[in-house]
């Protein structure tokens, strides 16, 4: 997925079993943040930054959705433990990860594995990718987004 691309209509199912579709966000800007794993340090920092900045993001016209390959049960626990006010899509079959191009070869501690590359997509009111953040500031991601066009 690159700037100018339209996001898929079917986004996936969240921790509560609700299926999300792109049309539900029509008329609003959407933040889709892809993260590697529920409960890990940097992923928790990022999700909590977005949660603490949620009011300002809503005021700026954004809605927020998180996506990882974790299952719904893991998402539910992660969302409850961190009081996350936005849905987390359980992309266990990697449909969104692959469609957005964030499922890539990772290198860690001398090993290689396939995993999610932390990336934030900003989608406009028409479902078109307007911006992509690849160097996510996990501790201040809400402000990073709010300051994009300043």
* Contact indicator for 12, 90 with CB cutoff of 8 Å: yes
Collapse the DSSP code of 137 into the 3-class scheme (helix H, G, I; strand E, B; otherwise coil) and give the result: coil
Q: Residues with catalytic annotation?
A: 43
Question: CA torsion sign, 75 to 24 to 85 to 32?
Answer: positive
Task: Supply 123's token pair.
Answer: 């989608």
Tell me the CA distances in angstroms from 128 to 11, 80, 103, one per residue in order: 14, 31, 20
């Amino acid at each position: 997925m690159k700037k100018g691309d339209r996001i898929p209509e079917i986004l996936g199912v969240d921790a509560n079993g609700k299926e999300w579709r792109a049309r539900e966000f029509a008329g609003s800007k959407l933040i889709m943040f892809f993260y590697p794993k529920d409960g890990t340090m940097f992923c928790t920092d990022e999700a909590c930054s977005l949660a603490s900045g949620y009011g300002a993001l809503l005021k700026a016209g954004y809605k927020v959705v998180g996506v990882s390959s974790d299952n719904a049960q893991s998402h539910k626990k992660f969302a409850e433990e961190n009081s996350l006010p936005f849905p987390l899509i359980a992309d266990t079959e990697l449909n969104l990860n692959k469609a957005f191009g964030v499922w890539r070869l990772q290198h860690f501690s001398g090993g290689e594995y396939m995993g999610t590359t932390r990336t934030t997509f900003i989608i406009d009111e028409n479902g078109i990718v307007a911006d992509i953040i690849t160097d996510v500031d996990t501790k201040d991601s809400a402000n990073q987004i709010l300051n994009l066009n300043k």
